[in-house]
């Protein structure tokens, strides 16, 4: 019989591991952010016009820092040992 041992190391959000300000994931709460606003119609036309308001720091969104490892701004790692025979 042949036995194999595998050692696997996975790192999630490596950029946040390198620098705590990198690799952040931002999310907007429902109905809290309005980046497009209807401004009216173009003159003598039925073409709608919209006003774009870019997000500014701290306005309507926050950093994902929850406990869900795969949807977080925190780095995490995983060490796996696998034996096959």
Bridge pairing between strands 36-41 and 4-12: unpaired
Asked if the model's pLDDT at residue 16 lies above 70, the reply is yes
More confident residue, 57 or 84: 84
pLDDT at 58: 59
Average pLDDT rounded to a whole number, residues 33-57: 84
Cα dist from 58 to 9, 10, 28, 51, whole Å: 35, 32, 10, 20
Over pLDDT 70: what percentage of the chain? 72
Contact 14, 23 (CB under 8 A): yes
Asked if the model's pLDDT at residue 67 lies above 80, the reply is no
Average pLDDT rounded to a whole number, residues 55-81: 70
Using left for φ > 0, alpha for ψ between -120 and 50, and beta otherwise, residue 20 falls in: alpha
């Amino acid at each position: 019989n042949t036995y194999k041992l595998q050692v696997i190391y996975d790192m999630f959000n490596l950029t946040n591991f390198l620098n705590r300000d990198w690799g952040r994931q931002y999310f907007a709460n429902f109905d809290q952010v309005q980046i497009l606003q209807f401004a009216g119609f173009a003159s003598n036309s039925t073409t709608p016009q919209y006003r774009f308001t870019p997000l500014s720091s701290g306005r309507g969104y926050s950093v994902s820092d929850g406990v869900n490892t795969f949807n977080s701004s925190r780095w995490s790692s995983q060490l796996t040992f696998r034996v096959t025979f």
